[in-house]
Every structure is written in C-alpha cells, then in structure tokens.
Structure 1
Amino acid sequence: MKPQSLAKIKAFLKRLAVVGIVFALLAGLLQLNNVTKPSLVNTDGRTFTKAVVTDILRDNVQENGSRIGDQIVALKLADGTEVTANCPNGLLFGTVCEPGMSVVVIASKTGSLSSYTVYSYDRMTAVIAFLAFFCLLLMLVGGRKGVKSVIALGATFACFLFFFFPLLMHGFSPIFAAIITSTLILSLTVFLICGPTKKALAAGLASFGGVLSAGIAAEVFGRMAHLSGYNVPNIEALMFVSQNTKIDVGGLLFAGILFASLGAVLDIAMDVSAAVTEIHEENPEKSERALFKSGMRVGQDVMGTMAATLILAVFGGSLGTWVLDYVYDLPFLQLLNSNSLDIVIMQGLSGGIGVILTVPLAAAFSALLLRHALVSSKQSETAKNAKISEA
C-alpha cells in the first residue's frame, strides 16, 4: 500500500476516534443530567407570566409619601387577558406599579378561581441588554481573544449547570465535584484562549495547583477554627434540601471557596506564564533558573494587587454583615468568634493563599516546559543534521 494511502487511513481513523470520544462524552453527559428533582415546594396551579400595568385601581401612597398596604392594579397579560391583581408593598417581593410598566405576575388557580399577584418588575430586558453589552465590549476590546473569552464564559456556565449541579444531585462530594469541575473549566478556558501551547499548559497546571492550595488552606483553617459547611447563615434551608436529596450540604462551603479563587488564580497564572514565554522568545538561551526568577519578579508585582482584589471581592459580597456588626458596635471577642465573620475571613485568606502559591508554580512550570521544548528541538535538529551528513 502506498504511503499516501496509509496516511489518509490514519487521518480518517483519528477523526473517527475523535468523533467517537465526543459522542461518548455527550452520552455520558446526558446520562449524568438524568436526575429527578424532588418537589420541595407545592407549585400546583401556580404559573409566572408577563403582564403590562394598564391602570392603578387603588393606590397605597399616604399623605406623608410613605406606602402602606398593597396596590390594586389592572393588568394585561401576555396572552391579551385583562385581569385585576394585588401588588404587595415589600422590599423583596412586589414593586410600585405605574401605568405602562412591565411586570411579572404570579397566576394562582384553585378550581375555577384565579388570583393574580405582582411578583416583581420585569427585568429581563435589562439583564439581556447588559449581558449583550458586556459580551460586545469584551469582543470589541479583546478582538479574537475576546470572542474566545465569551465562549469560555459560556462554557464555564454550562459546566456548572450541566456538570457540577448534576454531580451533587447524584450524591458526589461537593469538594470532589468542585475539583473536577474546576479542572474542566481551567482546561476549556486556557485551551480556548491560548490554544494547545506550552504557555497554556503551564498556566493550567499552575492554576490547578493554586486552586488546590486554596482548598487545602480552607480545610486546615476550618479544622483549626472548628468551622464547617453547617455554620453558614442559610443552613436551615440547606438542611431541608439535604433531607430530600443526595446533596452533601456540609461540603458546599469549601467547594464555593475553590470556585471563588478560580478566576483570580487563573488570571495571575496566565500573567506569569505569558511573561515568561515572552522573555523566553526574546532570549531563548536563558536558563531555567533565570526564567524562573523573571517569572517570580513579574508575579510579585501582580500578586499583591490580585490577593487584595480577591479579598475585597469577598468583603464586598458580605458588606451588609460588616455594616451591621459595625453599627451594633459588637465586642471584638464576639466578632472574632462569630461564624459568619470567620467564614468570610476563611474565604478571603484561603483564596489569597492560593493566589500567592500560584506565582512560583506558574514560574516553575513555564520555565521547565519552555526549556524542555527548546532542548528537545535542539536534539531533533542535531539528529536531523546527523542523518543528512551520513547521507
């Protein structure tokens, strides 16, 4: 058989193998998502629908400008039906209706009786518009890599929705599921943005090490401070979920810490790996030690701001708790030993530890992989020249 024919057969078999692997993964993913969610809340006869406020039949505004009680409003539903609805006066539920406003309505039907309650302002247009603006801005500024970043973000969301959550429903440990999902997200993100390069491999390995370091740090801190996933504020609702599903709610806290540190760790790993790669391309003869030192210097410049970014993000997410503690002027001993505050401290510090340890990992992996690639290239070139000389 001719060499060209053999090459075509090999190429066809490779494509066939890739297609087979893809179909196997899709089949496994479909099977994984075959979960039965328990009915934790009775929703029989209740639906959500869009509507437009046509009139305010009874307002709830008082002479002093405050609102007490509920509004009674006339609505036109999405199917054209005109109904009367109750609009609660709440900060978390309901809204202040005005004619022409788009709202979301809860339609409750019991037998032949139907009642309608305004759930909230219809925010779908605002959410979609802002999301579209974000993606467009990322693509315009980032160019081709911006497009890949948008795809990577979509893939990340899909990993949570179609992989991480089903794993929890099947009874997998949240920490184990988070490690697998983090690895998958890292691999997809780095591959989409950088392609199959040494820089991508170094950043991916360093990111995995950094995220794992953050998880280990959180576990050690939790054991030393006697904190667990059962000390979170919404534990009562989570315990109810755990009684009706296979979800281990105790591990969700530490799984969340892994995901919270993922973005910052990946960012600094990519910065260091990209810098070392650039230095290596400018001066390929630089030794592993010199490349490592260069990566460390770049990482040290970024490390402080990145750790501060992560801690500030955690602080901002729990700002309401900090404000309450400050206003009530709670004693220092009480604050330092409160579950909510210690969990925030654990999240911030363990994520910061992951960011710090990512720097030497990224510098080391980049230096080793780049130098190894250069040595292998030189050896191949020498062997090729030797064969030419013999011929």
Structure 2
Amino acid sequence: MSAIKIRLMAITILLLIILFFHFKVSYYSAIVQKGATKTLICVGEIEKIDTSEQVDQILTMKVKSGWFRGERITVDNKFTGRLFGGRVLHKGDKLFLEIPLKSLNQERIEDVYLREYVRTPFLLYLVGAFGCLLILVGGLKGIKTILSLITTSVIILYIFVPLLLEGYNPILIAVIISSIVTLFKFVWITGKSPKVISGTLGTLLGLAACALLATYSKNILHFTGLDEKFGYLKLGVALWRTIGPAWDYPNILVAGMIVGAVGAMMDVAMSISSSVVEVKKANPNISVKAAIRAGHLHQTGRYGVM
C-alpha cells in the first residue's frame, strides 16, 4: 500500500472517530444523584435572549439531549458583575443544564439551572486538526505518534491514577510510569538503534534527577500539595471526607511535576542523541569525545528558549 493511501486511510479513520465523539458529546445526557434528588444533566442551546431587564438576561433555550430533547425552556441568567461570577451569554451558546427530577417518569421541566459551556466539540476539532497535520507531515511516524499519545493517555488514566487512589507511593509510581512511557515511545516510534538507547538512558537519568530534586525541594519548601482555597470547594471537602487511604498531597504534587517534565526531557535527550549520531555519520573518524561535544554545542541554542 502506498504512503498516500496509508495517510488518507489514517485521516479518514481519525475524522470518523472525531465525528463519533462529537455527536456523543453534543447529545450527552446523564442522570446523577445529588443528595436525595436525581438530576438530569443535558445540553441546551440558546435560541433567543430578552434583555429588557436591566440586569438579567431572559434566555429561551432548546434542550438538545436527554428525554426532554426538543423542548423549549425559559431561564433567567443573573449577571452579578463579578469577574468570575457573572457571564454575558449569546445566541447560539451551548451550555450544560441541570434539571432536578421528582420522578423518573417526569413529563415536564419544572426547574432548570445553567452550568458550564459545552467546550468539548471545539477541543475535538483542535485534536482532529492536530492529528491530520501529524499524519500529513509525519506519515507513518505521525500515525505512530498519535497511537503513542493515545497509549500514554490510557496508561495515565487507567494505571497511574488508579494506583494513586489505592494509596501507593506517588513518586515511585510516577517514575515507573514515566520510564515505561519513555521506553514505549522511543522504541515504538524510532525503533531499536544506538540513538534510541542513548536517548532513553538520558531521559531515565533526567527522571531520576527530577525525582530527587523535586522530593528534596518538597521537604525544604514544605509543600502542602493543596491550595488553601481548594479546601473550601465541594471537591476539596469531598476528598477530605473520602474513606480510604490517606491522600498524600505533597507527593502527588511531586508526581505531577515528574510526569509533566518527562516530555521535555524526552525531547532534549533524543535531540542531543540524534545530533551526535548525525555528526558521527558526517565524520566517521571523529572521536567519541568530539562527537559528544559537537552534539552538545548543537543544542546550546535550546537553553535560552526552554
């Protein structure tokens, strides 16, 4: 199969996946339990805005998902004037709605509350555009890069986070997971070669240094791992009251630093390794010391923009 056909097939599959998730999010609905009340979470779109009131906006919205789909409702959007409190809505905006249910066979909407904007569709478009560019420019390596990103996300969501919730040492888990991701990405995308071995060793040493420095800094700077305001939020209160292993917030913060730094370390390590390999190819008679020095000098321009 030609490279062009592979690219077209990969782009088609990617766009179909994006389209699937677009419809799934656009028509999302779920029933959640809030205390003693069941609440329907659904999507609504603003069709009309009445601004005759001096402060409030009277919104006419169409329910786009759930069993009330197609119904039109009137909602009062109170503008408080606070930077993080009030918001001015516009025609065509889509928001999540909360509809309290008195029973599961309720036939009409009695109360409705406005929640967050529906942002996911636009994010999906960005992901789709990024993926298409990767495939067009990178070809097979671009496809492998997308698959590696998906695999990394799965590892973090379904292995890293659950292990944290089980109470395992966050720093140890972060180092192990980051090492696995590094090995997988380098071998999967680039293949087995001295360049990959060098880049992998450089990244692993960087991870070890990052873990030691972050742990030492945590102890010296007395990190708590939580913003004080977070403790007053509903999520913060819920975490404090969660029955289970004690939450090791400082080490979870350090684990986040390690996982967040692994991408930059992989980039620098592989770039330096690739530079040394290219120098060696251009001049096979160059000594190891001179090749390493040339690769290092080639990357010094990065230091000012990191």
Determine the structure 1 residue equivalent to 2:296: 296
- Does residue 136 (structure 1) correspond to residue 132 (structure 2)? The answer is yes
Say if 1:106 and 1:239 are closer, same or farther in 2 by CA, change over 3 A.
Answer: closer
1:201 to 197, 200, 214: 197
Give CA deviations for 1:242-275 in whole Å, capped at 9, x if unaligned.
5414342221111121122212111110101111
Secondary structure of 2:139's counterpart equals helix
Secondary structure of 2:278's counterpart equals helix
The unaligned stretches of length 5 or more in structure 1 are 1-38, 63-67, 310-391
Partners of 1:71 and 1:175 in 2: CA distance: 49
Partners of 1:293 and 1:301 in 2: CA distance: 14
In the alignment, is the contact (CA less than 8 A) between 1:238 and 1:249 conserved in 2? no
Secondary structure of 2:135's counterpart equals helix
Determine the structure 2 residue equivalent to 1:12: none
Alignment of 1:340-351 (within 5 A): none
- Does residue 84 (structure 1) correspond to residue 96 (structure 2)? The answer is no
Q: CA deviation at 1:137?
A: 2.1
Alignment of 1:37-116 (within 5 A): 42=35, 44-56=37-49, 58-59=50-51, 62=54, 68=55, 70-78=56-64, 79-89=69-79, 92=84, 95-111=87-103, 114-116=110-112
Q: When the two structures are superposed, what TM-score results if normalisation uses the length of structure 2? A: 0.74
In the alignment, is the contact (CA less than 8 A) between 1:95 and 1:118 conserved in 2? no
Say if 1:174 and 1:43 are closer, same or farther in 2 by CA, change over 3 A.
Answer: farther
Q: CA deviation at 1:234?
A: 5.1
- Does residue 223 (structure 1) correspond to residue 215 (structure 2)? The answer is no
2:61 is aligned with what amino acid? L
Partners of 1:143 and 1:51 in 2: CA distance: 40
Say if 1:127 and 1:118 are closer, same or farther in 2 by CA, change over 3 A.
Answer: same
Say if 1:252 and 1:52 are closer, same or farther in 2 by CA, change over 3 A.
Answer: same
Determine the structure 1 residue equivalent to 2:120: 124
2:174 is aligned with what amino acid? A
In the alignment, is the contact (CA less than 8 A) between 1:175 and 1:252 conserved in 2? yes
Q: CA deviation at 1:198?
A: 2.0
Give CA deviations for 1:322-367 in whole Å, capped at 9, x if unaligned.
xxxxxxxxxxxxxxxxxxxxxxxxxxxxxxxxxxxxxxxxxxxxxx
In the alignment, is the contact (CA less than 8 A) between 1:94 and 1:119 conserved in 2? no
Alignment of 1:169-180 (within 5 A): 169-180=165-176
Determine the structure 1 residue equivalent to 2:5: none
Partners of 1:298 and 1:43 in 2: CA distance: 64
Q: Number of aligned pairs?
A: 260
Determine the structure 1 residue equivalent to 2:239: 241
Give CA deviations for 1:114-150 in whole Å, capped at 9, x if unaligned.
4112213332321111221122223223333222222
Give CA deviations for 1:294-314 in whole Å, capped at 9, x if unaligned.
333234343x13xx43xxxxx
1:197 is aligned with what amino acid? S
Secondary structure of 1:211's counterpart equals helix
Partners of 2:180 and 2:36 in 1: CA distance: 35
Say if 1:182 and 1:94 are closer, same or farther in 2 by CA, change over 3 A.
Answer: farther
Q: Which has the larger radius of gyration?
A: 1
In the alignment, is the contact (CA less than 8 A) between 2:179 and 2:204 conserved in 1? yes
Query: Higher helix fraction: Structure 1 or Structure 2?
Result: 1
1:75 is aligned with what amino acid? M
Partners of 2:191 and 2:84 in 1: CA distance: 45
Partners of 2:266 and 2:147 in 1: CA distance: 16
Secondary structure of 1:203's counterpart equals helix
In the alignment, is the contact (CA less than 8 A) between 2:218 and 2:254 conserved in 1? no
Partners of 1:301 and 1:40 in 2: CA distance: 55
1:52 is aligned with what amino acid? E
Say if 1:40 and 1:46 are closer, same or farther in 2 by CA, change over 3 A.
Answer: closer
1:187 is aligned with what amino acid? L
- What fraction of aligned residue pairs are identical, expressed as a percent? 23
